[in-house]
Amino acid sequence: MAEASHPAPVIILNEPQLAENIGAVARVMANFGLSDLRLVNPRDGWPQERAWALASGAEWPLNAAKVTESVAEAISDLNLVFATTARPRELQLPILTPRAAAAELHAASGQGQKVGILFGGERAGLETADIALCQAVVTIPIDPRFRSLNLGQAVAINAYEWRTTLLDAPPAIFREHSPPADGAAMLGLFEHFERELDAAGFFHPPDKRPSMVQNLRSALGKARFSEQEVRTFRGVVTALSRGRGRVLAKLAAQKAARGETE
């Protein structure tokens, strides 16, 4: 079956506010064959009885919902995550429609990757720092005269497009290659790289550091590294940092030598 060879995307709700909206999301997930729901810091805690009432019997996504404290934790085991937002951002990430996003997620899932779609909260949507952890942005082409779209509707549109990819889908492509890096591996790479850049004095002036970090994470995330590529890149960062130490030691030695001769 297509469902078996292409596991459905994980749905991640970042800081959802209303239990009713979480229940509505569970309902449309069930409509379109999705079951893995993750909640990042739900405003009113979890579980919430009103969510089950609004799910209208679609209880399995709610019963198994995983609660995390951060987006990074929620996506740590995923290889490919797309962020949904209607607002333009400064990050240079690919911009996809739900249909194009579903096609890419379908192809990745067929290759054994774990995929997900990240949705922002009702009040403020997603922060740039969270979008920077993703590999592309999904924007629904709604009429600009009325951009208001509730959380359940946004999930429904993306879930529907996913479902259509399973109809008459070709068999999964099997290749021998290093599996794609998951969110935890990528976060480890980001933090390793940023520590060494801090040590090198790259983030200057200091008040620009957050935006520079987000841009670096966005650029690296677009590469969609494999596990082996993450290890290789971290090896490069380590080698460069050690090389910097040798250069500094050499300069210190040369300075000392000049002092002895002066």
pLDDT in tens, 241-255: 887 666 566 667 777
Confidence (pLDDT) at 89: 66
pLDDT band with cut points at 50, 70 and 90 for residue 171 = low
For residue 129, give the nearest of 65, 190, 176, 52 by alpha carbon.
190
Place of tokens 């995923």: 78
- 93 alpha-carbon distance from chain centroid: 12
**CA-based nearest residue to 83, from 227, 218, 230, 220:** 218
Beta carbons within 8 Å of 135's beta carbon, 6+ residues apart: 80, 81, 82, 93, 94, 221, 222, 224
Query: What mean pLDDT comes out for the span 102-121?
Result: 94
The letter for the amino acid at 55 is A
What angle do the packed helices 98-110 and 151-165 form, to 10 degrees? 50
- Inter-residue contact 80 to 7 (CB < 8 Å): no
DSSP string for residues in 189-237: HHHHHHHHHHHTT-S-SGGGHHHHHHHHHHHHHHT--BHHHHHHHHHHH
Q: How confident is the model at residue 1 (pLDDT cuts 50, 70, 90)?
A: very low
Q: Name the token pair of 73.
A: 């934790």
Q: Compute the half-sphere exposure of residue 99: CA atoms within 13 Å on the CB side of its CA.
A: 1
247 in helix, strand or coil? Answer: helix
Q: How does pLDDT run across 83-95, given as a tens digit for each residue? A: 998 766 677 889 9
Over range 70-74, report the average pLDDT.
96
**What is the structure's pLDDT at 123?**
76
Query: Is the model's pLDDT at 170 over the cut of 70?
Result: no
Q: Which domains does the chain have, with CATH numbers?
A: 2-165 (3.40.1280.10), 183-261 (no CATH)
Q: What is the 3-state secondary structure (H, E, C) of 92-144?
A: CCCEECHHHHHHHHHHHHHCCCCEEEEECECCCECCHHHHCCCCEEECCCCCC
The tens digit of pLDDT for each residue in 25-54 reads 999 999 999 999 999 999 999 999 999 999
Question: What's the confidence (pLDDT) of residue 169?
Answer: 56
**Residue 137 pLDDT:** 94
Lookup: tokens for 143: 């009429």
DSSP 174: -
Task: Read off the pLDDT band of 24 (50, 70, 90).
Answer: very high
- Give the pLDDT score at 50: 94
**What pLDDT score does 144 carry?**
84
Does 227 have pLDDT greater than 50?
yes
Q: Which residues are CB-contacts of 142 (< 8 A; sequence separation ≥ 6)? A: 86, 149
Of the pLDDT bands very low, low, confident and very high (cuts 50, 70, 90), residue 2 is low
Helices (H) and strands (E) in the chain, counts: 11, 7
pLDDT at 262: 44
- For 126-144, what is the mean pLDDT? 92
Note the pTM of the prediction, 2 decimals: 0.78
The predicted structure's pLDDT at residue 253: 72
* Distance between CA atoms of residues 52 and 62, nearest Å: 7
User: What are 173-193's pLDDT values in tens digits?
Assistant: 545 577 889 999 999 999 999
Please give the structure tokens belonging to residue 229: 């590529």
SS3 label, residue 1:
coil
Mean pLDDT of 55-82: 96
Region 66-79: what's the mean pLDDT?
Answer: 96
